Structure 1
Amino acid sequence: MTAELRVDDLLAAARSKAGLSEFGDDWFLEPLRVLVTALNGEARLSELGLELTRRRLTALLVDRLRLRALQREHPEIHDVEPVVAGVICGLPRTGSTLLHRLLASSPKLTATLSWETSYPIPFPGEGPDAAERKHRAQQRMKAFLELSPDFGDIHTVQWDGPEEDVILVDRSFTSMSFDSFYRVPSYGDWLRAADQRKAYAELRQWLQVLQWQDPARAGKRWVLKSPHHLTAVDTVLDTFDGCRIVMTHRSPVRAVPSYASMVRTMSAQYSDETDPVAIGRYWSDRFTASLREFGAVRAKRPERFVDVQFDTMLTQPVAGARSVLDALGLPADAADDAAFQSYVDRDRRERHAAHSYTAEDFGLSPEQLAQDFAFYQEVRS
Structure 2
Amino acid sequence: MNTDDLVRAAQDKTGLTEFGDDWFREPLKVLVDSLNTEAKLSEFGAELTRRRLTALLVDRLRLRALQREHPEIAEVEVDVAAEICGLPRTGSTLLHRLLAASPRLTSTLSWETGYPIPFPGEGPDAGERKRRAQARSKMFLELSPEFADIHTIEWDGPEEDVILVDRSFVSMSFDSFYWVPGYGDWLRAADQVPAYRELREWLQVLRWQDPSRQGRRWVLKSPHHLTAVDTVLDTFPDAVIVMTHRSPVSAVPSYASMVATMCAQHSESVDRPALGRYWSARFATTLREFASARRERPERFCDVRFSDMLDDPAGQARRVLGALGLTPDAADDAAFTEYLARNRAERQGGHKHSYTAEDFGLSAEQLERDFAFYTEVYL
Give the root-mean-square deviation of aligned CA atoms.
0.6
* Aligned-pair CA distance for 1:378: 4.1
Shift, 1:35, TM fit: 0.2
Paired residue type of 1:256: V
Matches within 5 A, 1:263-282: 263-282=259-278
Does structure 1 residue 53 correspond to structure 2 residue 84? no
Distance between the aligned counterparts of 2:352 and 2:297, measured in 1? 38
The AA in structure 2 aligned to 1:50 is A
User: How far did residue 207 of structure 1 move?
Assistant: 0.2
Instruction: Report if aligned partners of 1:295, 1:379 keep a CA contact under 8 Å in 2.
Output: no
Residues 54-107 of structure 1 deviation map (CA, whole Å, 9 limit, x = unaligned): 000000000000000000000000000110000001100000000000000000
- Cα distance in structure 1, aligned partners of 2:355 and 2:339: 27
Paired position in structure 1 for 2:129? 133
Is 2:357 the partner of 1:374? Answer: no
Picking from 60, 63, 69, the partner of 2:59 is: 63
The question of whether the paired residues in 2 share the 8 Å contact of 1:291 and 1:376 is answered with yes
Which ranges of 4 or more aligned residues in structure 1 deviate by more than 6 Å? none
Distance 2:308 2:104 in 1: 22
Give the secondary structure class of the aligned counterpart of 1:306. Answer: strand
Amino acid across the alignment from 1:33: K
Q: Partner letter of residue 194 of structure 1?
A: A
Corresponding letter in the other structure for 1:180: S
How many corresponding residue pairs? 377
Calculate percent identity across the aligned residue pairs.
74
Structure 2: runs of 5 or more not aligned: none
Report the CA distance between 1:19 and its aligned residue. 1.4
Provide the residue aligned with 2:10 in structure 1. Answer: 14
Residue 133 of structure 1: SS of its match in structure 2? helix
Counterpart of 1:171? Answer: 167
Letter in 1 for 2:107: A
Deviations 1:121-158 (A, max 9, x none): 00000000000000000000000100011000000000
**2:232 corresponding residue in structure 1:** 236
Secondary structure (helix, strand or coil) at the match of 1:150 reads helix
1:205 to 198, 201, 206: 201
2:214 counterpart residue number: 218
- Amino acid of the structure 2 residue aligned with 1:373: F
User: In structure 2, what residue type is equivalent to 1:369?
Assistant: L
Secondary structure of 1:78's aligned partner: helix
Q: Equivalent residue for 1:292?
A: 288
Q: How many Å separate the matches in 1 of 2:77 and 2:184?
A: 32
Partner amino acid for 1:86? Answer: A
1:149 aligns with one of 142, 145, 148: 145
**CA deviation profile, 1:29-68 (whole Å, cap 9, x unmatched):** 0000000000000000000000000000000000000000
AA aligned to 1:229 is H
Which of 31, 36, 42 is matched with 1:35 structurally?
31
Q: Indicate the SS of the match to 2:145.
A: coil
The residue matched to 1:177 in structure 2 has which SS? Answer: helix
Q: Which amino acid aligns with 2:363?
A: S
Aligned equivalent of 2:358, options 360, 375, 379: 360
**What is the DSSP-based 3-state SS (H/G/I as helix, E as strand, rest coil) of the residue aligned with 1:356?**
coil
Alpha-carbon separation, structure 2, partners of 1:113 and 1:19 = 28
Asked if 2 retains the 8 angstrom alpha-carbon contact of 1:252 and 1:370, the reply is yes
Match for residue 112 of structure 1?
A: 108
Counterpart residue type for residue 254 of structure 2: S
Contact 1:90-1:248 within 8 A present in 2 as well:
yes
- 1:377 Cα offset (Å): 2.2
In structure 1, what residue type is equivalent to 2:19? F
The TM-score, its normalising length taken from structure 1, stands at 0.98
**CA contact under 8 A between 1:90 and 1:249: conserved in structure 2?**
yes
TM-score, reference length from structure 2: 0.99
